[in-house]
Amino acid sequence: MSDFGFHLAFWSLAAMTIGGASMIMVSRNLIHAVIWLVLSMLGIAGLYLTLSAEFIAVVQVLIYVGAISVLMLFAIMLTPRAERDNSQNIKTSAPAGLVVIMVMIATMWVAIDTDWGAVREAALTEQARLIGESLIKHYILPFEIGAVLLTAALVGAIALARQDDEDAAVHAASLQAELKGDGSVDPVDVVDPPLPSDGEVGS
Amino acid sequence: MTDLAGLSSVLGAWYDFRDLNNLQRLITEWIADWGPDWLASIITGVLGALGILGVIGPTLLILIWVERKVIARFQQRYGPNRVGPKGLLQPVADAVKLILKEQLAPRAADKLIFFLPPVLIFIPGVLIWGVLPFGPRMSVADLNVGVLFLLAVSGTAVLVIFMAGWSSNNKYALFGAMRAVAMSISYEVPMVLALLTLVVFSGTMSINGIVQWQQQEDVIFILLFPLSAIAFFFAASAELNRTPADISEAESEIVAGYHTEYSGMRFGLFYAVELGNTLVVSAFIATFFLGGWWLWGLDQWVPSWIILLAKTGAVYFLLIWTRGTLPRLRVDQLMGFCWKALVPATLLFVVVAFVERTLLISEGWDTTVALPIMAVFNIALSLGAVMLFARVARPAPLRRPARIRMAGSDIGGLRAAREVAARREAPQLQVGGD
Amino acid sequence: MTAQYDATAAMEIVNASAPGAACIDEGVLYLEPDTLAESIRTLRDSEESDLVFLSNLTAVDHELHFELVYHLQSLDLNHILQVKARIFDREDPALPSLTRVYHGAHLQEREVYDLFGIRFDGHPDLRRMFLWEGFPGYPLRKDFLQMPGQVRAGLPGFPHESEENAWPVPGSVPQRPLHPNDPQPEGEVVVADESEDAS
Amino acid sequence: MTMSDDTRLAMQGTIEALTAGDGSEPVVVNLGPQHPSTHGVFRLKVTLDGEIVQDAEMRIGYLHRSMEKLAEERSYTQNIPFTDRIDYLAAMSNNLAYCLAAEELLGVEVPPRAQAIRVMFAELQRVASHAMANGTFINDCGAWHTPLFHMFRDRERVLDMFEMTCGARLTTNYMRIGGVAFDLPDELLPTLEQFLADMPENIANYEALLLENEILHARARGVGVISPEMAINSSLSGPVLRGTGVPWDLRKANPYCGYESYEFDVPVGEQGDCFDRFLVRMAEVKESLRILRQVVDTLPDGPYLADVPLHARPEPGESYARVESPRGELGFYLVSDGGPAPYRFHCRPPSLINLSALKEMSIGGTLADAIVTLGSIDIVVGEIDR
């Protein structure tokens, strides 16, 4: 591919990535922020493509755009509406911002300082195989630890969700008590009343 | 095994309609002679996109007609038969009507996000066609990670659906969007696992590679992994929001789901992409499980893309059939079906595929003997798994049969009811139950 | 065939538990409004009457009083009993609600409240049902249509029976816009809709 | 740090939701008045926690035409067309119930042929109405209209027979006080014979398509359950009551129009869920066909209309007549003051009263279950609002 096409792709994708990322900070609405995040992620996937890293690009889209962003949307939808605003308080976010800026400077310094030699052509054709082999053979321990961690997170999520269920039961009970209190017809009594011969119906 | 060298010598000329790739290659070479090479890549890309759109556009219009006509026949009606010969122009008339209609937006809608989805939904809808192999060398992009690409692109559509539902500021739309998202991330799991079975067994992630594997081994995957094929079919119809899994636009519950607030051509775009996705999913089912463009040597004589279209049509008919016959499942039932039935079943066959692949490679079994044995074994295993599931996972209310008794001379209230219920004779009608 | 349940027997059942709560007038069982719910509960729970099914609940405006009509049915014994209650207070008519006895009275009582304006004390959700809150008047009352000309609601008679019955009643206010084919009323007439053009 | 009013309001709502027990805010969704599965302009306001119905409240009156008041201004015969429009899917049954009430008031004897014709049309109407009820019920379960269109074939043939006889298909206005408006036309009986010959095969088709359908079972079994005690206490009637196992049918309990001379049976369910109601309706269609067969075989000759003056003035008094309409117990309560028009005209609408227990049936189920329950009750909004 010629320089012009490559540069065009690189600069537009870089603009997309950084523009999306900046819009995340600017937008007040969390759902808008997620959508900008998706745009940024897509830009990164495009950058991977320009590096001929098809596998990683596709995985980036699959995981970050298809899964992580959807997960974020779920989290937002499950959050009470009052807490859905983007942060408003500069006092609490300033230290965090400072830390982020420092980390970014450090990363950029390392990135510029490192001597990235040209990648061998052969490595690119069989990325999937290489990644798979290195995961299963070379990095088997971290891989397994990651798997265990994810399983633990899964179990934790289930446990949290279960707890909510009990709350709902309590909620229903309190509603029933409320209904009993104001002297109206109690739906539970009404739905399943004792036989008329045993007692009174609907009273 | 097909003689590929001989085939390509036959397929060399640009006018050979069996392989339209020749045409494109000639154009590319011609441009490369005089222009810069980036122009060639851009022009071939544009040509490919135009080719896809040229295929989808008219096909969609015909498909709407086919679907309406077939459904009408299921329902003892004629279907569209007024506009044009046999009603063929009805979809065109509908499209013109939709374009002319006013496009409304709710006042409280999130305007930008509301306007984007009908356009954005087209991107995955069109991109996904890019990796579909119409022939040995006929796909716009023959990626070596084609399977992953397919999953990644189809996964992004759900985000657009969420945008549409959320920005409408309508509760039906939000319900539809949340249902669509929940469905999509759930049914992606069995879908991925079903495809993983094929990837493990054939050892390639290229879609064309999977077809070529089936061609090489003279077997179609639905025979080897029938349960994966069925699971993929279910998962695909769930992702496509088609009955019996159309909960995200369940008409009787949430009106039209996430596109409730879209009118005019905006709705038309959603509708078109939905139909287009149905077609492309049929094509992928045909490709993965039915051998795609290959059909036991027939592809030597008939253009491969016609074979693919025929198989696609058969799968598409199956999708229409289920839609016309079955009621819709509930949200929790669909989720339960996914996680309790499809995921274990597909997972089982990933393991089976892994074991069988290992036997084939490391033990060096003869495929001509081993594959039929494996097919028989897998079919038996699938049947056993389905029967086990039917026995174990049946919901409690369905375990008792529903009975209708005749009251006879017992007419009255609770006392008569007890007498009728206590009768010893067989009920008039008894359905369901274990 | 569904038999008519003997009103005297029903009266005895009611009066056995609450003396004076029921009386019979022209063969119809009348219940005291104050103890209506208890009396009907007694009739429902009694083995002999077994009136477990509220078939119908409605009201009739007898101009001087309202009459609540209940049709109670026994399914097992297959008999029906008509029970009535009278309310003489036209300004604020009220009656105990039957919702604690029959869940099926819920909607029917709301309907009566909506169209007659009769309150049911103890009803859990007494709101207007067909008409909106704030609708002026109660349509099924006989005085709903009373207008300046003192027209009594209802069809006075067939036109062929007497001259007086020919519509419109002379001197009355038309209840609907005049049709060109209608006989034009004589004398001074207040036209309901002055903006009507000469169609 | 300032907080917007919106945020404060939203926060308050959240705190309320949190103190109420679980952290989720309930959503109120209006099903209707314009909604595909509320069968007219019926509005169900459901409060949802996720997909679970916490509360269901119905708002009605969008179709209120004040028929009971209008009827006080019209003579007894003039009121018959109103009854068509009360339950427009079972106009014949409504005509019949009103005419029975008026006849009781006037003391009219109905000739035997008229009685047989009335039974014939009431049962044809039941076949048509149940076809509609079952078809739309499957639609509410999410089918793509296929069973509905199949069942509409039968309904169409019934409506053709109505048209043949009285000129109207939906609002028939066919019954008269003292009989029916017209005698049967010559072509009706052959058409009816053909219909009776074709129906068993059609019903067998529906049963093959629907009865063992696992998805339908999953959607309708154990959904919208109501106990027989509660059903009786809520004044439910018709297939909804019989679905709970209570064998109550006015055609048997209080025979009118000579129903006692025909052999038929009353199907009852067991569980009281939506599927039982559906099965009861399917079985009732078969019983209706049985009655129709007998009516055709024993159709007497003679006058089809008693000699009743159009301008009838009944004695002061009251009457309450009930029939078993396709939806349940349909009653008309008439009070006469000796005038030419009813002093009070009241209709006991089965559709409205069958909704008494809708809230109890829906709470705890999902939104989809509430829709299926509503569909299984088989409401007609014209009758609810009147």
Residues C124 and C154 in one domain: no
Q: Answer whether A190 touches D (CB < 8 Å).
A: yes
From C65's Cα to the closest Cα of chain B, the distance in A is: 35
Quick one: tokens of A38? 């998706």
Residues C59 and C131 in one domain: yes
- Given a contact cutoff of 8 angstroms between Cβ atoms, the answer to whether D287 and D264 are in contact is yes
Which candidate, D102, D72, D331, D346, places its Cα nearest to that of C68? D346
CA distance D237 to D252: 14
Share of chain C above pLDDT 70, in %: 72
What does the pLDDT read at residue B10?
Answer: 46
- Mean pLDDT, range B17-40, rounded to an integer: 70
What does the pLDDT read at residue A84?
Answer: 53
Quick one: tokens of B13? 């000329």
- Given a contact cutoff of 8 angstroms between Cβ atoms, the answer to whether D202 and D154 are in contact is yes
Residues C131 and C167 in one domain: no
Q: Answer whether C186 touches B (CB < 8 Å).
A: no
Q: Is the pLDDT of residue B53 over 80?
A: no
Does an H or E element contain D53, and which? strand D52-59
Q: Cα torsion at C29, C32, C37, C40 (round to 10°)?
A: -20
Q: Is the pLDDT of residue B147 over 70?
A: yes
The band of D191, judged by pLDDT with boundaries at 50, 70 and 90, is very high
- Mean pLDDT, range D207-218, rounded to an integer: 86
CA distance D332 to D386: 13
Instruction: Mutation target for D interface from C74, C155, C162, C172: give the one with most D CBs within 10 A.
Output: C155
Q: Answer whether B414 touches C (CB < 8 Å).
A: yes
Q: Which of A122-136, C178-192, D152-166, D176-190 has the lowest mean pLDDT?
A: C178-192
- Mean pLDDT, range D35-43, rounded to an integer: 80
CA distance D51 to D38: 18
Judge residue B84's burial from the number of C-beta atoms within 10 Å of its C-beta, 0-12 exposed, 13-18 middle, 19 or more buried: middle
What does the pLDDT read at residue A165?
Answer: 47
What does the pLDDT read at residue B206?
Answer: 84
Q: Do C52 and D232 touch (CB under 8 A)?
A: yes
Looking at this protein, which amino acid is placed at residue A78? L
What does the pLDDT read at residue B19?
Answer: 63
Which residues have a Cβ under 8 Å from the Cβ of B234 and sit 6 or more positions away? B187, B190, B245, B337, B342
Residue C50 lies in a domain: yes
- Given a contact cutoff of 8 angstroms between Cβ atoms, the answer to whether D76 and D147 are in contact is no
- Residue numbers of B between 308 and 327 with CB closer than 8 Å to D: 323-327
Q: How far from each other are the two terminal CA atoms of chain A, in whole angstroms?
A: 83
- Mean pLDDT, range D84-96, rounded to an integer: 90
Q: Do A196 and C45 touch (CB under 8 A)?
A: yes
Q: Do C155 and D385 touch (CB under 8 A)?
A: no
- Strand D27-31: give its sheet, edge to edge: D27-31, D43-49, D52-59
Q: Beta partners for D323? A: D330
What does the pLDDT read at residue D163?
Answer: 92
B395-422 pLDDT, tens digit per residue, is 777 778 888 888 888 888 888 888 888 8
Q: Do C78 and D253 touch (CB under 8 A)?
A: yes
The band of D1, judged by pLDDT with boundaries at 50, 70 and 90, is very low
What does the pLDDT read at residue B245?
Answer: 76
CATH of domain A1-81: 1.20.120.1200
What does the pLDDT read at residue A2?
Answer: 56
What does the pLDDT read at residue A81?
Answer: 59
Task: Say how many domains are in chain C.
Answer: 2
Q: Is the pLDDT of residue D263 over 50?
A: yes
Across the interface, of A2, A31, A65, the residue whose CB is closest to B166 is A31
- Whether residue D26 is preceded by a cis peptide bond, meaning omega within 30 degrees of 0, is no
CA distance B213 to B216: 5
What does the pLDDT read at residue A189?
Answer: 43
Q: Answer whether C125 touches A (CB < 8 Å).
A: yes
What does the pLDDT read at residue A102?
Answer: 93
- Whether residue B244 is preceded by a cis peptide bond, meaning omega within 30 degrees of 0, is yes
- Nearest-by-CA chain A residue for D18: A80
Under-70 pLDDT residues of chain A: 1-2, 79-91, 117-126, 161-203
Reported pTM: 0.81
Q: Is the pLDDT of residue D332 over 90?
A: yes
Q: Tokens 């008229």 belong to which residue?
A: D114
Contacts of residues C26-32 at CB distance under 8 Å and 24 or more positions apart, as own/partner, are C28/C82, C28/C84, C29/C81, C29/C82, C29/C83, C29/C84, C30/C83, C30/C84, C30/C85, C30/C86, C31/C83, C31/C84, C31/C85, C32/C85
Instruction: Mutation target for A interface from B114, B149, B179: give the one with most A CBs within 10 A.
Output: B149
What does the pLDDT read at residue B239?
Answer: 83
Left, alpha or beta for A188 (phi > 0: left; psi -120 to 50: alpha)? alpha
Domain ranges for chain D: 67-357+365-385
According to the per-residue pLDDT averaged within each range, which of B250-254, D32-36, D324-328 is highest?
D324-328
Q: Do A187 and D363 touch (CB under 8 A)?
A: yes
Judge residue B212's burial from the number of C-beta atoms within 10 Å of its C-beta, 0-12 exposed, 13-18 middle, 19 or more buried: buried
- Given a contact cutoff of 8 angstroms between Cβ atoms, the answer to whether B339 and D375 are in contact is no
Q: Answer whether B420 touches C (CB < 8 Å).
A: no
For chain A, how big is the Rg over CA atoms in Å?
27
Q: Answer whether A143 touches B (CB < 8 Å).
A: no
B187-208 pLDDT, tens digit per residue, is 888 998 999 998 888 888 888 8
Q: Answer whether A102 touches D (CB < 8 Å).
A: no
Residues C135 and C94 in one domain: yes
Quick one: tokens of A185? 């017809």
Does an H or E element contain D246, and which? none
Q: Answer whether A21 touches B (CB < 8 Å).
A: no
- Mean pLDDT, range D283-292, rounded to an integer: 92
What does the pLDDT read at residue B420?
Answer: 83
Cβ-based contacts of A185 with chain C (< 8 Å): 99-100, 103, 106, 124
Q: Is the pLDDT of residue D23 over 70?
A: no
Instruction: Mutation target for D interface from B404, B414, B420: give the one with most D CBs within 10 A.
Output: B404
Q: Cα torsion at D313, D314, D317, D323 (round to 10°)?
A: -120
Strand, helix or coil for residue C111? helix
What does the pLDDT read at residue B421?
Answer: 82
Number of H helices, E strands in chain C: 3, 8
- Mean pLDDT, range C52-61, rounded to an integer: 90
Between chain A and chain D, how many beta carbons pairs sit less than 8 Å apart? 63
- Nearest-by-CA chain D residue for A197: D229
Cβ-based contacts of C77 with chain B (< 8 Å): 412
Across the interface, of B243, B250, B411, the residue whose CB is closest to D248 is B411
Q: Do A200 and C124 touch (CB under 8 A)?
A: no
Show which of C86, C108, C140 is a domain's final residue.
C140
Q: Is the dihedral angle over the CA atoms D79, D84, D86, D91 positive or is it negative?
A: positive
- Nearest-by-CA chain C residue for D252: C1
CA distance D109 to D175: 14
**Sheet strands (E) in B107-177:** none
Residues C11 and C105 in one domain: yes
Q: Answer whether D245 touches A (CB < 8 Å).
A: no
What does the pLDDT read at residue A29?
Answer: 79
- Nearest-by-CA chain A residue for C102: A202
From A172's Cα to the closest Cα of chain D, the distance in A is: 8
For chain C, how big is the Rg over CA atoms in Å?
22
Q: How distant, in Å, are the alpha carbons of B290, C130, D61, D95, D348 from that of D83?
A: 60, 18, 18, 6, 12
- Residue numbers of B between 340 and 379 with CB closer than 8 Å to D: none
The band of D334, judged by pLDDT with boundaries at 50, 70 and 90, is very high
Between chain A and chain B, how many beta carbons pairs sit less than 8 Å apart? 72
Q: Do A196 and D229 touch (CB under 8 A)?
A: yes
Cβ-based contacts of A200 with chain C (< 8 Å): 41, 45
Query: Mean pLDDT in chain D?
Result: 86
* Domain D67-357+365-385: homologous superfamily in CATH: Cytochrome-c3 Hydrogenase, chain B (1.10.645.10)
Domain ranges for chain B: 101-393, 399-431
Q: Is the pLDDT of residue C118 over 70?
A: yes
Which residues have a Cβ under 8 Å from the Cβ of B109 and sit 6 or more positions away? B167, B168, B169, B261
Residues C85 and C126 in one domain: yes
D349-381 pLDDT, tens digit per residue, is 999 999 988 888 888 888 888 889 988 988 888
Across the interface, of D51, D142, D246, the residue whose CB is closest to B414 is D246
- Mean pLDDT, range B54-83, rounded to an integer: 85
The band of B57, judged by pLDDT with boundaries at 50, 70 and 90, is confident
- Mean pLDDT, range C132-157, rounded to an integer: 69
Which residues have a Cβ under 8 Å from the Cβ of A114 and sit 6 or more positions away? none
Judge residue B38's burial from the number of C-beta atoms within 10 Å of its C-beta, 0-12 exposed, 13-18 middle, 19 or more buried: middle
Q: Is the pLDDT of residue D295 over 80?
A: yes
What does the pLDDT read at residue B14?
Answer: 55
Q: Is the pLDDT of residue C177 over 70?
A: no
Q: Do D352 and C111 touch (CB under 8 A)?
A: yes
Domain that holds residue C155: 146-185
The band of C165, judged by pLDDT with boundaries at 50, 70 and 90, is low
The band of C195, judged by pLDDT with boundaries at 50, 70 and 90, is very low
Q: Do A190 and C52 touch (CB under 8 A)?
A: no
- Nearest-by-CA chain A residue for B145: A55
Q: Name the residue with higher pLDDT: B127 or A13.
A: A13
CA distance D278 to D131: 11
Helix-helix angle B171-202:B146-167, to 10 degrees: 180
Quick one: tokens of A121? 């052509």
Concatenated DSSP letters for D181-227? SSPPPTTHHHHHHHHHHHHHHHHHHHHHHHTT-HHHHHHHTTSS---
Q: Which of B199-203, D237-241, D274-278 has the lowest mean pLDDT?
A: B199-203
Q: Do C125 and A190 touch (CB under 8 A)?
A: no
- Residue numbers of A between 159 and 188 with CB closer than 8 Å to D: 164, 167-168, 170-172, 174-175, 187
Q: Answer whether D29 touches C (CB < 8 Å).
A: no
Q: Do D143 and B255 touch (CB under 8 A)?
A: no
Which residues have a Cβ under 8 Å from the Cβ of B259 and sit 6 or more positions away? B164, B173, B176, B249, B266, B267, B270
Residue C196 lies in a domain: no
Q: Answer whether B433 touches C (CB < 8 Å).
A: no
Q: Answer whether D232 touches C (CB < 8 Å).
A: yes
* Strands C66-74 and C53-61, sheet pairing: antiparallel
Q: Is the pLDDT of residue B106 over 60?
A: yes
Q: Is the pLDDT of residue D124 over 60?
A: yes
Q: Is the pLDDT of residue C194 over 50?
A: no
Per-residue HEC secondary structure of A84-148 comes to HECCCCHHHHHHHHHHHHHHHHHHHHHHHHCCCCCCCHHHHHCHHHHHHHHHHHHCHHHHHHHHH
Q: Answer whether D1 touches A (CB < 8 Å).
A: yes
Q: Do D356 and C103 touch (CB under 8 A)?
A: yes
- Given a contact cutoff of 8 angstroms between Cβ atoms, the answer to whether A167 and A94 are in contact is no
- Given a contact cutoff of 8 angstroms between Cβ atoms, the answer to whether D243 and D225 are in contact is no
Residues C90 and C181 in one domain: no
What does the pLDDT read at residue D3?
Answer: 43
